[in-house]
Amino acid sequence: MNNRYDLQKAILAEADRTKQIRSKERSFQSQSGSPLSLFPDDIMPSNVGPLDEVMWPFFYRVDMTFGEGIFSYNNESRNQGSFRVGNEGNFLLLGIFRDNRDYDVAGYQAPLLMTIRDDQSSRQLNTEAFPVQSIGTKGRPLKFKTPYLMYENSQVTLELKSWLPVGSEVEVEGSGFNSFVCYGYRIRSKDDAVIKQALRGL
């Protein structure tokens, strides 16, 4: 079974169903003078529609820094940042990419491992910490083998920690700034059943 193909089919089917519903809405709204009737299909806002019938692309950004100028990484180096899913819908996390101000050892090639944690359930999305270099830039993101469904109001934490052995220290010069973007889809609460059905075969 092709997991990505099945998920993509489910998302496209849901988008087509949403489009049909919007078409019926515009037919009614055009008679009532709603501003939504002014939008043609190709530029209709993707987050407009009944509260239980909407799915749209979304992302969360988490920024962290280890220093600027001359600074050091050692065994105690660690940092973390979080994002919270809003109460207007759940979040289907598909992957992550990152951006750095510096692409040498101070930034992109820093001796760091990442852990991603769903704080609501205390579960780690990865079985063990992985090198931060596994996360590519926007053009080459890290795509998860299976998506993760984060419920509304849940909090997700990204943690970075050094893999250097005790007593080791690496002095660097540059920017230790890291920006991580978690991307996927926002889903209205009542669409939960549709997503779970799409994920059942993964």
Under the banding of pLDDT at 50, 70 and 90, the label for residue 45 is low
Look at the block and give the residue holding tokens 């063990």. Answer: 128
Cβ-contact 195, 149 below 8 angstroms: yes
pLDDT at 183 over 60: yes
Q: Write the DSSP symbol of residue 47.
A: T
Q: Which helix (H) or strand (E) holds 15?
A: helix 3-32
Average pLDDT on 177-192 reads 83
Residue 161 confidence (pLDDT)? 96
Residue 194 structural domain = 3-199
pLDDT at 65 over 80: yes
Q: Which of 25-29, 118-122, 150-154, 158-162 has the lowest mean pLDDT?
A: 25-29
Q: Express each pLDDT in 73-111 by its tens digit.
A: 999 999 999 999 988 888 889 999 999 998 899 999 999
Residue 122 confidence (pLDDT)? 75
Residue 201 confidence (pLDDT)? 43
Average pLDDT on 40-60 reads 66
pTM over 0.75: no
Q: Which helix (H) or strand (E) holds 22?
A: helix 3-32
Q: Structure tokens of 38?
A: 């002014």
Q: Structure tokens of 202?
A: 């993964």
Which has the higher per-residue pLDDT, 129 or 34?
129
pLDDT at 48 over 90: no
Under the banding of pLDDT at 50, 70 and 90, the label for residue 180 is very high
Provide the domain count of the chain.
1
Cα–Cα distance between 29 and 9 in angstroms, integer?
A: 30
pLDDT at 38 over 50: yes
What are the E-state strand segments in the chain? 55-74, 78-84, 90-100, 112-118, 123-124, 130-131, 142-150, 155-162, 169-187
Q: Express each pLDDT in 125-178 by its tens digit.
A: 888 899 999 999 888 999 988 888 888 889 999 999 999 999 999 999 999 999
Longest dimension (CA), the chain: 73
Main-chain dihedrals φ then ψ at residue 144, nearest 5 degrees: -70, 145
Mean pLDDT computed over every residue of the chain: 79
Cβ-contact 173, 102 below 8 angstroms: no
Q: Write the DSSP symbol of residue 36.
A: G
